[in-house]
Amino acid sequence: MMIVRSTVPILKEHGNAITLNFYDTMIKDVPELNNIFNRASQANGHQAGALAGALYAYASHIDDLGALSPTVEKICQKHASLYIQPEHYKVVGEYLLQAMGTVLGAALTPEILEAWGAAYWQLANIMINREAQLSDTAPNWTNWRDFQITNKFKESDEITSFYLQPLDNKPLPTFLPGQYTSIQTDVPSLNYLQCRHYSLSDAPNPSYYRISVKREAGVDPTNPDHVKHPGYVSNILHDAKNPGDVIKVSHPRGEFFYSPSGAADHPIVLLSAGIGITPMLSILNTHNASGSKQPVSFIHGARTTASRAFHRHAQYLADRHEHVKYTAFIKSPDTEKDVEGEHYHHRGRLSLGKLDREKELFVSDDSTQYFVCGPETFMTEVEKGLMEMGVEQSRIHMEMFGSGVMARS
């Protein structure tokens, strides 16, 4: 393993070139993998960058794999949601080592190649076994399942909710609020399927799941050449999928969640920005449905009131329940329409400094649990701010959307 560790400087310099070559070659040679890999993340380089970072982290911690456990668990949860199979690991391993050889040339000595082959399969077997365990928790749902869109509701200028019911009408398994499901649908402009993870945005219900999807601007699904920021699936859902249409859905997964059964009377603080509101809403609605009097502080930041979703719902719950506190930040209020105190509480980006440390953040209660979701810079700032207030990192739970896994100090 010392040989693998010695390649850290090489990966730092050439990691992105290796992963770009890896994806490009593998997808061309094995085109059916287009049905699994996110082509938007391929096009903007996010997936290659995430894999390069993962390789660097793996080589850096090859002697202490326990440090990578949270990252490995996050990836395994995603793989289980996409029904990745052991045979996929064989293909990935072959093309990854091939890409190393292509980029590094003579620098990839037989000894380094052999060491990386062994290291790859060490990690692959850990992940294969973990994903098998996850699959065993849902023995009656082992592949994509047909769901019908029964309702489509516009929540804001950017966000639309989709209510999904299984075609077989069998009761749905519960999930932990904060978790996500994956959907799979055809993308005509690409001529293959695409999968995306979407947080479940409501409390568990045996009859339906709800996802709330932000339109990722930049793609016109009727114009295949328009791929500046290719949010393929979100645009298709918004523009082309309607009640009565069928999409494929996977069993809920995810390591970011609030567990109602493990909750006592400790406060929970939900901090979100933008579309990061969706898992928080699931937590809030689950808490409300349980009848718990556990203090909840729901704090959300949005760019404008027009782009923000679920404001009235959150305000309704806060007005109805003394133990629920709702605080809304708007970065750019409409000076002609938006009234402070009615449509929002604070102007500007969500800032911990504008919040009451006790009534809204409960920082003096060392049992308070914090859940954070939004853009990476937002989550990094919130985590840093909470820790500066004396909150232990172990009580701060964060969810990152997309291809990456956020590094934590």
With beta carbons less than 8 A apart as the criterion, state whether 193 and 39 touch. no
Strands (E), 237-395: 246-249, 268-273, 296-302, 324-330, 346-347, 369-373
CA–CA separation, 314 vs 97, rounded Å?
A: 50
To the query of whether residue 83 is one of the catalytic residues in this protein, the response is no
Identify which of 215, 373, 358, 366 has the alpha carbon closest to the alpha carbon of residue 283: 373
Query: Are the beta carbons of 379 and 363 closer than 8 angstroms?
Result: no
How far from 197 is each of 11, 151, 181, 233, CA to CA, in Å? Answer: 29, 19, 6, 10
Q: Could you tell me if 289 and 317 are in contact, meaning their C-beta atoms sit under 8 angstroms apart?
A: no
Q: How far apart are CA 50 and CA 339, in angstroms?
A: 41
d(CA 361, CA 59): 38
Structure tokens at 113: 């190649």
Question: Which H or E run includes 222?
Answer: none
Which of these, 182, 150, 180, 168, lies nearest to 248 by C-alpha position? 182
Collapsing DSSP states into helix, strand and coil, what is residue 180? strand
- Rounded-to-integer distance, Cα 379 and Cα 386, Å: 10
23, 58, 120, 131: the active-site residue:
131
Q: Tell the burial category of 350 from Cβ atoms under 10 Å away from its Cβ (0-12, 13-18, 19+).
A: buried
Torsion angles phi and psi, residue 119, rounded to 5: -65, -40
3-state class (DSSP) for residue 327: strand
| Residue labelled with tokens 């172990």 | 394
Q: Which two tokens stand for residue 318?
A: 């806060």
Q: Using CA atoms, how far apart are residues 216 and 235, in angstroms rounded to an integer?
A: 7
Residue 89 annotated in active site: yes
Residue 69 to residues 65, 66, 72, 170, 409, Cα–Cα distance (Å): 7, 5, 5, 35, 15
The closest of 213, 166, 212, 178 to 286, measured between CA atoms, is 178
Of 56, 58, 89, 326, the catalytic one is 89
Which active-site residues does the annotation give?
A: 89, 131
